[in-house]
Amino acid sequence: MPHDQVAQGPTTDSHCPYCALQCAQRLGGHPVAAEPRDFPTNRGGLCQKGWTSADLLRAPDRLTQPLRRTADGLVPTTWDDALDDIAARVRALRADHGPDAVAVFGGGGLTNEKAYQLGKFARLALRTRLVDYNGRFCMASAAAAANRSLGVDRGLPFPLTDLDDADAVLLLGSNLADTMPPSVQHLAGPRARGGLVVVDPRRSATARLCDDGAGTHLQPLPGTDLVLLLGLLHVVLGEGLADVTYLDERVDGVEDVRRSVAAWWPERVETVTGVPAGQLRSVAHRLADASPHRGGRGAYVLTGRGAEQHVDGTDTVSAAISLALALGLPGAHRGGYGALTGQGNGQGGREHGQKADQLPGYRSIEDPADRAHVAAVWGVDPELLPRSGVPAVQLLSSLGTESGPRGLFVHGSNVVVSAPRAGGVRDRLASLDLLVVCDVVPSETALLADYVLPVTQWAEEEGTMTSLEGRVLRRRRHVDPPAHVRDELWIWSELARRLDAPGTWSTDASLVFDELARASAGGRADYAGLSHARLDTGEALHWPCPDPDHPGTPRLFTNRFATPSGRARMVPVRPVGPDDDVHAEAPLHLVTGRLLAHYQSGAQTRRVPALCDAAGGPHVELHPSLAARLGLDGAELVRVTSARGSMVAPARITRDVRPDTVFVPFHFAGDSLVNALTNDATDPVSGMPEFKVCAVRVERVADDAGPSAARVLQEVES
């Protein structure tokens, strides 16, 4: 083990540091290695990332001491000097520009304890209302839609294992086979019965699971998922396929939705989406026949980022929920709607205070009773708590402006690579008076900072995570961190003391969790009955879990919805189309997504040689007909340009994309940074940016007009 790390025992049971599937792992050996454990979600499986996760502990450029920026670049410093100067500069910025002079940007990979304490640190120590996190890029639209229709946002309000016995699963905008490979085994039952339906403009690895009679791949024009869903609703409501009894007993707003979808008959939908009308009708009947009210074994409607990262993403998810409600699925034991959370703690990260408008337990920061409850737990006057801040894109675009924040703390996020219109984000960060980044490795964002603070990673810390199903899981420490690396709980405690913050600031994760549980008590995401000690006696419990004797709640909505009336609400919606649609100067749709071997901005996985070898580097997927028009016949370099920027990568010719669409993975930086092109237009309800579609043009890069393919790959590898 590098950096004099010491193992805590022969083996340690924990969970994977990557996605929200949170596959169960066992850590052990010398050097440390990860192997799978049996657990309901992964059933003894791991993906490439999980198998190689222990390699992160041996990253050659691991941050091991605090760094400060000087005229000579980033140089080592001591913790006391770094924290003293950071606190002094925060005080000066607040004195000159007010409490909102300093902002906070968090991450969906932080433990529940850290997500909770970060929100508390922002509001009590920094006194700022400006806190948000990268979950705004991940789950915001699904959360907003679930809250307004079902009353609560829990990604999957049922265990993932419920999919096993279903007759049909409709999967919109999620490439599970690449992003969460162990979850694919839960689709075996629906596939065996021919009931897997995948909606994706690209023939992804998940779409290929529909081959050989296992299901149906619908390949709509990018940005038209909402129209497709309205067409399915039209068929279900118009052809007598709905569960009328369920709708009468449990759902409001049905007639408004019925009227709103009347104009979207399948033939009209075909003209917008390109999906044949007959195929649309067939899928609607397949879902209805699988639903319990028609004697089926069960049907599920699942959404992912491909359907949600649009300017009408919240409305798209609302239409998906309305489809599930029309079929009588939510709360039916054999069916439901769910959103597939992406980041490791994307669920818990948005429940406990990182979002601009939320307090712990999914409480509203504007609600007087919610403010009073949390303030009592924190031991402060409710009037001391700031009001709502602004969503992530708005926060980032305001940095360094005349009326915006002059300082920023970044925790668990690499915004220079992961944010839309990334070139503008880099410029805004460069304009700040103070940028503090806590990270494990020198990410692209960390390299811009005034202070880089080295922090622990998953195998070096205690805490909890909340999976995509709402299971609260124990993360356990297996090795000691390097000598000068610190946990964020310690960092915030030290800064809170220097800033004379009220309240208590424990550095013990179990005590922080106990405080989180009290703060969440009575909230929609109620953890009051949970503790490290209780979770250590078993594997996991689903929230809400309001008292120590409560068994947890694997399935929501069995008797009532989490709305004031107890009834769900259908919401009528209308499509608005992409904000940046194709035109003569940019005639192609750009779609971005993940690769099997990489994760998020790639800051972690690009440091694992086995994953880099498997991924094969950045590329641009083009249909053969488009490649022929550009004069391409192999892996020549192409330049992709939008109204916001351009990127260069080798072409990859494939029939897996539509002729009018190009696909680029978003894990790479430098010349291959695709988020330099993506659009920062946002959904008006959720604040989520429109990552998933924008207008671009593609050109072949002449041999003397840009970097070589070898250079592009070399930059990525370095």
Based on the domain organization, do 325 and 421 belong to the same domain? no
The predicted structure's pLDDT at residue 9: 64
The predicted structure's pLDDT at residue 577: 86
Distances (CA, A) of 468 to 21, 158, 162: 6, 10, 14
Q: Residue 382 phi/psi, 5° resolution?
A: -55, -30
Average pLDDT of span 152-167 = 96
Residues 521-534: tens digit of each pLDDT: 999 999 999 999 99
Which of 18, 39, 58 is the last residue before a domain boundary? 58
Q: How confident is residue 602, by pLDDT bands cut at 50, 70 and 90?
A: very high
State which amino acid sits at residue 578: P
Residue 345 lies in a domain: no
The predicted structure's pLDDT at residue 540: 78
Burial of 700 (0-12, 13-18, 19+ CB in 10 A): middle
- What is the overall mean pLDDT for the chain? 95
Share of the chain above pLDDT 70, in %: 96
Based on the domain organization, do 122 and 148 belong to the same domain? no
Alpha carbon distance, N-terminus to C-terminus of the chain: 23
Q: Is the pLDDT of residue 116 over 80?
A: yes
Which neighbouring-strand residues pair with 276?
none
Q: Is the pLDDT of residue 670 over 50?
A: yes
Residue 27 lies in a domain: yes
> How many CA atoms does the CB half-sphere of 134 hold within 13 Å?
22
Q: What is the CATH number of the domain that holds 100?
A: 3.40.50.740
Average pLDDT of span 576-591 = 96
The predicted structure's pLDDT at residue 539: 64
Residue 576 lies in a domain: no
The predicted structure's pLDDT at residue 97: 96
> How many CA atoms does the CB half-sphere of 14 hold within 13 Å?
29
Q: Residue 562 phi/psi, 5° resolution?
A: -85, 35
The predicted structure's pLDDT at residue 624: 97
Residue 29 lies in a domain: yes
Domain assignment of residue 6, given as a range: 2-58
Based on the domain organization, do 194 and 311 belong to the same domain? yes
Q: What is the CATH number of the domain that holds 11?
A: 2.20.25.90
Q: How confident is residue 717, by pLDDT bands cut at 50, 70 and 90?
A: very low
Based on the domain organization, do 397 and 535 belong to the same domain? yes
Based on the domain organization, do 383 and 426 belong to the same domain? yes
Average pLDDT of span 90-106 = 97
What strand order describes the sheet that includes 33-36? 11-15, 24-28, 33-36
Which neighbouring-strand residues pair with 131?
104
> Which residues 6+ apart lie within 8 Å of 148 measured at CB?
318, 569, 571
Of the candidates 680, 336, 379, the one whose C-alpha atom is nearest the C-alpha of residue 515 is: 379
Q: How confident is residue 704, by pLDDT bands cut at 50, 70 and 90?
A: low
User: How many domains does one find in the chain?
Assistant: 4
Based on the domain organization, do 400 and 513 belong to the same domain? yes
Which neighbouring-strand residues pair with 301?
170, 337
Which has more confidence, 344 or 538? 344
Residues 462-515: tens digit of each pLDDT: 999 999 999 999 999 999 999 999 999 999 999 999 999 999 999 999 999 999
Based on the domain organization, do 198 and 246 belong to the same domain? yes
Based on the domain organization, do 123 and 147 belong to the same domain? no
Residues 376-424: tens digit of each pLDDT: 999 999 999 999 999 999 999 999 999 999 999 999 999 999 999 999 9
Q: What is the CATH number of the domain that holds 261?
A: 3.40.228.10
The predicted structure's pLDDT at residue 716: 45
Which has more confidence, 425 or 138? 425
The predicted structure's pLDDT at residue 566: 98
Average pLDDT of span 16-25 = 96
Residue 66 lies in a domain: no
The predicted structure's pLDDT at residue 333: 83
Based on the domain organization, do 649 and 696 belong to the same domain? yes
Which neighbouring-strand residues pair with 408?
103, 435
Average pLDDT of span 93-115 = 97
Which has more confidence, 409 or 713? 409
Residue 329 lies in a domain: yes
CA distance 193 to 116: 43
Residue 695 lies in a domain: yes
The predicted structure's pLDDT at residue 702: 80
Based on the domain organization, do 100 and 211 belong to the same domain? no
Residue 327 lies in a domain: yes
Based on the domain organization, do 484 and 379 belong to the same domain? yes
Based on the domain organization, do 201 and 282 belong to the same domain? yes
Which of 305, 340, 375 is the last residue before a domain boundary? 340
Give SS3 for 38: coil
Which of 486, 509, 542 is the last residue before a domain boundary? 542
